A and B are shown apart, each in its own frame.
Chain A
Amino acid sequence: MKKYFQNIAIGALSLIKGLVVTFKNIFCPKITLQYPSERQSMAERFRGLVDLRVNKCIVCSQCVRICPTACLSLSAKLTEEKKKALESFKYNMELCCFCGLCEQVCPVSAVYLNKIYEVASFNRQDLYIDLLNPEKYVKFVNPAVK
């Protein structure tokens, strides 16, 4: 009988201890953001979608070679001044694992990872991206962010 009441006392005490912890937390500052109206600002090194500064690229193909999932492909042409220039630069976002290796090997920082992270799409074709198209990511930028 004594044990029975002892157990109840211990149980009640542990309940109070737990409540003390929750009570302390009531006065902590709020940390939840009301997504999508509130958003966290992305870190400076954040790795979003692959993007290209077209006129910087020297067509060295290092990014294509390092990519572990082979999702980048480019083709080059010769300009009239006998210089190499980009003809096409395709990016298959479906395969990309956002590892950032392409950004790190690019000698002139032409290819980089931007800060877009909402990449859901109803259409698979939307994920095959032509990096030379300046309007390529318009569909992924939520009007609420702009």
Chain B
Amino acid sequence: METALKESKCITTEEFLINMGPQHPSTHGVLYLELKLDGEVALGCTVHLGYLHRGMEKIAESRTLTQFIPFTDRLDYIASMNNNLAFVLAAEKLLGLEVNARAKYIRVVIAELNRIASHLLGIGCFAQDLGAFATPLFYCFRDREKIVDIFNELCGNRLTYNYMRIGGVQFDFTKEIEIKIKEFIKYMSNKVNDYEWLLSGNVIFLARTKNVGVLLKEVAINYGVTGPNLRASGVKWDLRKDEPYSGYENFQFDIPTGINGDSWDRYKVKLEEIKESLKIIEQAIGALPEGDPTVKAGRQHKLPVGEAYMRSENPRGELGFYIAGDGSFNPYRLKIRPPSFSNLSVIAELVKGCKIADVVCILGSLDIVMGEIDR
């Protein structure tokens, strides 16, 4: 008896490290997390990046502005249209170009459609990370497919659109596409309620997400977190309202915010944003101005000596492009400010004291895309 007691006193526990990724189904791309664990509780984590680095910023220095648009598709590949938009806005700011009203409205419709598609994928993958295998994800994919079909008809591709042009867009809306978009608004307004029933009311989903990964307002702001993740923490900050671009000032919509900043709020804000996006699309498509929004791709622009920075609200947060020109056709320097980079950097704070299963939940709720983090 005594010896057993002695031995048990000799047993010590140790912290240990495990590698999550780079090939892991719930890291959404090639992300490598080094988790420090005490039993099942995470004490901290180190993020290792760079597996998807393609040198986008350097590539830009040897491309003209139009030639760089296809590369922006590959930053946040879930929301290519929004990347296109952010880049052409930055280029137009540097060149001092005006865009006609119809092009602006078309851009808004397209950007909001892509926002819905992106949030649907975010919600679906999040539910799957929590163990709701297949059903919610497949429903999300089915609805996202409708948007992808519209884009495919509009510009001929399903993921990397290369649709926006400096000074306008590539193709005008046809009558059929307008009808399809209107049908989609009706369809999606009904389907959002399905998600409310399927996920928002589900007790398992609630238990897994409520009070998990609470992101405080101050921490979020200090880390530069933006987009739905920031709004879930209760900060009402949306560039579409606070710094309107591309005619967003003409539309009525609300900015949904959360209260606690937990994984549940981050999910709920995304779902509410889908409804708001539908409102914006409805207003924009109902009031499409006349005019010719198309621009020829062959037109090359000489960059003036100077610099411009433009940011816009992507589905994941604030995407910024900084372009410096030196009088030639290629940018002298191009810097990308991706939202997911800041959103991911906060994870070290969030996982402290969480169970290892919750790490997956937190990562899913942050909704990162590695393409724009490593770029």
Contact = CB atoms under 8 A, between A and B. Distances in A.
Contact of A14 (B152, B160, B202): B202
Contact of A97 (B66, B70, B198): B70
A28 to B, nearest CB: 9
A61 to B, nearest CB: 12
Given A18-B202, A45-B153, A98-B157, A68 B70 contact: yes
B160 to A, nearest CB: 7
Contacts of B171: 45
B156 A46 contact: yes
Given A11-B203, A21-B197, A21-B198, A47 B142 contact: no
A113 B156 contact: yes
Contacts of B194: 21, 24
A144 interface: no
Nearest to B193: A21
A22 interface: yes
A101 B119 CA distance: 29
Interface residues of B, number: 30
B91 to A, nearest CB: 15
B151 to A, nearest CB: 9
Contacts of A145: none
Contacts of A99: 69-70, 160, 162
Contacts of A1: none
Contacts of A44: 153
A17 B63 contact: no
B202 A66 contact: no
A119 B283 CA distance: 41
A18 to B, nearest CB: 5
A105 interface: yes
Interface in B196-214: 197-198, 201-203
Interface in B41-82: 63, 66-71
Given A44-B153, A47-B156, A97-B160, A66 B298 contact: yes
A100 B156 contact: yes
A104 B297 contact: yes
Interface string B292-324: 000011100000000000000000000000000
Decide if the interface of chain B is mainly helix, strand, loop or mixed: helix
B346 interface: no
A10 interface: yes
A66 B66 contact: yes
Interface in A89-137: 97-101, 104-105, 113
Given A18-B197, A21-B194, A43 B66 contact: no
Contact of B152 (A10, A43, A68): A43
Which of B135, B171, B297 has the most A CB atoms < 10 Å from its CB? B297
B142 A31 contact: yes
A78 interface: no
Nearest to A106: B298
B68 A68 contact: yes
Contacts of B142: 31
B298 A105 contact: yes
A43 B197 CA distance: 34
Nearest to B157: A47
Interface of A: 7, 10-11, 14-15, 17-18, 20-22, 24-25, 31, 43-47, 62, 66-68, 97-101, 104-105, 113
16 contacts: A15-B202, A17-B197, A18-B197, A18-B198, A18-B202, A20-B197, A21-B194, A21-B198, A45-B155, A47-B156, A98-B160, A99-B69, A101-B67, A101-B70, A104-B170, A113-B156
